[in-house]
Amino acid sequence: MNRLIIVSNRLPFALDSAGEDLWTVTPAVGGLVSAVEPVLRERGGTWIGWPGIPGGIPDEPLAEATCDASYNVVPVALSETERDEFYYGYSNEVIWPLFHDLQNFCNFEPAYWQAYKQVNERYADAIISNARSDDFIWVHDYHLMYVAQALRERNAPQQLSALTFFLHIPFPPYDIFSKLPQQRRLLRALLQFDLLGFQTRRDVRNFLQCVRRVMPDARVVSRDALHVIRFEKRRIRVGHFPIGIDFDAFESGAKSEAVTQRSQQLRTSFPDCQLVIGSDRLDYSKGIPERLRAFRDALERYPELRRRVVLIQIVVPSRVDIPRYHEFKGRIDRLVGEINGRFSTSNWIPVQYHFRSLDREELLAHYRTCDIAFITPLKDGMNLVAKEYCACRFDDDGVLILSHFAGAAEQLKPDALLVNSYDVEQMADTILNAFRMSKSDRSKRMKRMRRVVRKENVFWWVDSFLKAGATLGGQSSPAVKRRRSHGVLQNASA
Ligand code: GDG
């Protein structure tokens, strides 16, 4: 049985200094943590990552933050410059915008690449110090694409049996990827892993296309569910593994007494209105201004929606220290102000805007109560909010409006109302369709979406990935602590 070692840029919580010897610990918000934390809690193992503060890591608050965790936590320290050049720089000013097809937002500053490599080497060292030869090493996301290369440069794979990687964000098509100055070095680094997982078939297609165009020495030798690339006398497997959610936890949470009460309050606060929810981290890839403009257009062109719909837009603060994100927030604030200024009446405000993270009960109450989820990223690896919304609609009601460009569209497309998030008029028309949709149509669609989200949940995702990894270098899947009642989480070798 192998232990599971998760390696990601951030740990599932952030430490922050609140004055001399005073520390706050906040749970990290984001898709990676939402998905991976329940898995590690369930199976045990080790999580290697950065606790979110530059400089040295204070022992005491770290010990306090991790005392209840059912897995080991290994912090990686980053200096302020490393944070700026590796995290804000290469990760978030180069890879994030480029991989979301937003090349005009990229800052291809050459110094960033050096910092990226250097920090990835630090993570590789942390793996070497903490892993045993039969551990299952699972590296996550775009910040750490150089880790396997750094491990190979240190001859570590002789001690470690398999190195695996999952990309949570999309992989771009060749025409966009080819703008990257380090395109060859980055692909070469990725090909040092033994298994590469992507969210969707489209991402796998894009990745293989880039490999074919940029790496003439690599050969794609099969086209089954798992593709195989031959490179430098090694075989690298590549597949799509759409990430899921802990469906049962969301569903039972939505049925709880506290959420039921909060849901009733929400409903009575907006009598005779259909509620539309949007909930995103503050990020320009999430299509928030486009969504607000579509909502404004819908109110403008379809007066029957006035006083009958309310958009509840939750924006979770994220990367606010980056100037682009700060400006972006200003744009959202102005649009909300314009819409409310233009349409509000004495007893109706069309956009309810929260710039903060809701606590879990509050978030679930919103999912459970809102009639329409309006999810319009310009590009998104998966988008877990879409799946969480379905999991909380145990009454089989609710309409999901979803961007074509979210990975989740590949699984939910027959029943979600798909939109082009760049097409404001089409999105406005779709709001009207959702508003007018019959109860029986809503129910048929939601039932089918819930079936998919329930079956292809986060434990199914992790099992599929670990099974694909289990065939590498004589690995078996990591040990499971206890079985779950819904039966998807099982020991692959059982
Ligand atoms: C990356 C990829 C991919 C939202 N509002 C609140 C809140 N949330 C939580 C949701 C959800 C998470 O944040 C957001 O997940 P997403 O998947 O939508 O987006 P990213 O953070 O960009 O995640 C993405 C994901 O990784 C997983 O692979 O799907 O494509 O970009 O879980 O519940 N949480 C709390 N309060 C809120 O107000 N507590």
CB 204 within 8 A of CB 239: yes
**E strand or H helix at 281:** strand 274-281
Per-residue pLDDT at 492: 26
Cα dist from 409 to 90, 201, 370, 381, whole Å: 28, 11, 20, 10
Tell me the CA–centroid distance for residue 351 and ligand 1, in Å.
21
Per-residue pLDDT at 27: 81
Q: Is the pLDDT of residue 482 over 80?
A: no
pTM of the model: 0.93
Per-residue pLDDT at 480: 41
Question: Mean pLDDT across the stretch 375-402?
Answer: 98
Average pLDDT, the chain: 91
Phi-psi region of 319 (alpha: psi -120 to 50; beta: other; left: phi over 0): left
Per-residue pLDDT at 489: 25
Atom of ligand 1 nearest to the CA of 359: 39
| Predicted confidence band of residue 154 (pLDDT cuts 50, 70, 90) | very high
Per-residue pLDDT at 43: 85
Ligand 1 pocket test target in 92, 247, 281 with most atoms within 8 Å of CB:
281
Give pLDDT tens digits for 407-447.
999 999 999 999 999 999 999 999 999 999 999 999 999 99
Give pLDDT tens digits for 245-277.
999 999 999 999 999 999 999 999 999 999 999
| Predicted confidence band of residue 477 (pLDDT cuts 50, 70, 90) | low
Residues with CB under 6 A from ligand 1: 29-32, 34-35, 168-169, 243, 279, 281, 314, 316, 357-358, 360, 363, 380-385, 388
Tell me the CA–centroid distance for residue 314 and ligand 1, in Å.
12
Orientation angle between helical segments 424-436 and 288-301, nearest 10 degrees:
60
Query: Which residue minimizes the CA distance to atom 26 of ligand 1?
Result: 31
Catalytic residue among 100, 168, 240, 366: 168
Query: Which residue minimizes the CA distance to atom 9 of ligand 1?
Result: 30
Distance in angstroms (rounded) separating the CA atoms of residues 156 and 345: 66
Question: Mean pLDDT across the stretch 367-383?
Answer: 98
Question: Mean pLDDT across the stretch 481-490?
Answer: 32
Distance in angstroms (rounded) separating the CA atoms of residues 59 and 36: 24
Tell me the CA–centroid distance for residue 30 and ligand 1, in Å.
4
Q: Is the pLDDT of residue 491 over 50?
A: no
Question: Mean pLDDT across the stretch 387-394?
Answer: 98
Share of the chain above pLDDT 70, in %: 95
Question: Annotated catalytic, 380?
Answer: yes
Q: Is the pLDDT of residue 484 over 80?
A: no
Per-residue pLDDT at 1: 57
Residue 47, classed as helix, strand or coil, is strand
CB 135 within 8 A of CB 166: no
What is the DSSP secondary-structure string of 169-217? S----HHHHTT-TTHHHHHHHHTTSSEEEESSHHHHHHHHHHHHHH-TT
Orientation angle between helical segments 360-369 and 384-392, nearest 10 degrees:
70
Per-residue pLDDT at 175: 98
Q: In 39-186, at which residue ranges do the beta strands (DSSP E only) sit? A: 46-50, 72-75, 136-140, 162-166
Give pLDDT tens digits for 94-149.
999 999 999 999 999 999 999 999 999 999 999 999 998 889 999 999 999 999 99
Atom of ligand 1 nearest to the CA of 388: 33
Query: Which residue minimizes the CA distance to atom 21 of ligand 1?
Result: 30
| Predicted confidence band of residue 493 (pLDDT cuts 50, 70, 90) | very low
Catalytic residue among 135, 380, 415, 429: 380
Query: Which residue minimizes the CA distance to atom 25 of ligand 1?
Result: 31
* Residues counted in the chain: 494
Tell me the CA–centroid distance for residue 383 and ligand 1, in Å.
7
Give pLDDT tens digits for 10-33.
998 888 877 767 788 888 877 788
Question: Mean pLDDT across the stretch 399-407?
Answer: 98
Tell me the CA–centroid distance for residue 355 and ligand 1, in Å.
15
**E strand or H helix at 117:** helix 110-130
Between 19 and 228, residue with greater pLDDT:
228
Per-residue pLDDT at 478: 59
CB 190 within 8 A of CB 155: no
Question: Mean pLDDT across the stretch 31-60?
Answer: 86
Question: Annotated catalytic, 175?
Answer: no
| Predicted confidence band of residue 195 (pLDDT cuts 50, 70, 90) | very high
Query: Which residue minimizes the CA distance to atom 18 of ligand 1?
Result: 383
Per-residue pLDDT at 31: 75
- What six digits make up the tokens of 285? 């890839």
| Backbone φ, ψ for residue 319 (5° rounding) | 50, 35
Per-residue pLDDT at 63: 80
